[in-house]
Structure 1
């Protein structure tokens, strides 16, 4: 389950969700520029498209993460693993539905934007924000926005493929019962 949670957190991080952004008073000109930039990026659509693509992978991600967690737990006997797998397979549809509901929450995109404004505003000047917005108005910027949801999914898959075996090795080395 921890791996599945890590996958979801990674997905959100890859979408540049600033979960820990500090909210300091923001210059109204910067606030306005960032909101304009996010509108020019059609950011609400990018977020919603990314979430739609993630939703397609949810059942597989949930099962893969849970099965990996169960199978790597050396404290479990083969019978316990079999029982745990059966339980996860039974719970998977409900858990997947809960995750879908999370991603379909109509307030989620707006909440993310509210967090993005101070994040961008703390790192870019109004002039820089305007340049970023101009880029997204170009054909290359438009293409970038169009392929970003699929790039996000593929980047998550690459991250899983590269990182999970390494993380599992460290976890195994540090939790092995001697």
Structure 2
């Protein structure tokens, strides 16, 4: 996005990209320290599979990648094809390779926070028509939620920026060029 009336471009995707990269590099969370560890991990893996979490993670990764391409293309006018190739050839493959590591970590969290009975209940839900509908519609809802979130963030930034910048300036604080 181009700066508007002295406002820096809204870079809402940068924190998301940093979060995704940090999550992709975190080692898997240790399994719970109870006697049913292996069973809970197995149930959590089944839950992740039934809930479509892999597809959602990949969809989120693609959205982040597209936004990173847009940001880089904005900074490199006339070189959009080169930027797209660079992001897709270097970032996307490495991030996709690291997704199983993220899945293991999330599986460990579910195993740590839910009992066998609770995991069974969630698995049973995903076997119902409502659960299957949730899985089927989750990519669409995620995509639309991301668009709503970005529009919301831009609107908030537009409404709050002048007051924020003035208050920061009054306090002698320096505002980064890109937020």
Q: Report the TM-score, using the length of structure 1 for normalisation.
A: 0.62
- RMSD over equivalenced CA pairs, Å: 3.7
1:34 aligns with: 44
Q: CA deviation at 1:52?
A: 4.4
In structure 2, what is the Cα distance between the partners aligned to 1:94 and 1:174?
40
2:57 aligns with: 47
1:156/1:45 Cα in 2 relative to 1: closer, same or farther (>3 Å)? closer
2:126 aligns with: 136
Q: Greater helix share, 1 or 2?
A: 1
In structure 2, what is the Cα distance between the partners aligned to 1:57 and 1:150?
18
Question: Runs of 5+ in structure 1 lacking a partner?
Answer: 67-84
Question: Runs of 5+ in structure 2 lacking a partner?
Answer: 1-8, 173-179
2:138 aligns with: 148
Q: 2:147 aligns with which of 154, 157, 160?
A: 157
In structure 2, what is the Cα distance between the partners aligned to 1:109 and 1:140?
27
Does 2:104 align with 1:114?
yes
1:53/1:25 Cα in 2 relative to 1: closer, same or farther (>3 Å)? closer
Kept in 1, the 8 Å contact 2:40–2:116? The answer is yes
2:4 aligns with: none
Q: CA deviation at 1:25?
A: 3.7
Kept in 2, the 8 Å contact 1:21–1:119? The answer is no
Q: 2:76 aligns with which of 68, 85, 88?
A: 88
Q: Report the TM-score, using the length of structure 2 for normalisation.
A: 0.62
User: How far does the alpha carbon of each residue in 1:53-75 deviate from its partner, in whole angstroms, 9 at most, with x for none?
Assistant: 55556544x26xx8xxxxxxxxx
Kept in 1, the 8 Å contact 2:24–2:99? The answer is no
1:79 aligns with: none
Kept in 2, the 8 Å contact 1:46–1:148? The answer is yes
Kept in 1, the 8 Å contact 2:27–2:105? The answer is yes
In structure 2, what is the Cα distance between the partners aligned to 1:153 and 1:97?
23
In structure 1, what is the Cα distance between the partners aligned to 2:108 and 2:55?
20
1:96/1:4 Cα in 2 relative to 1: closer, same or farther (>3 Å)? farther
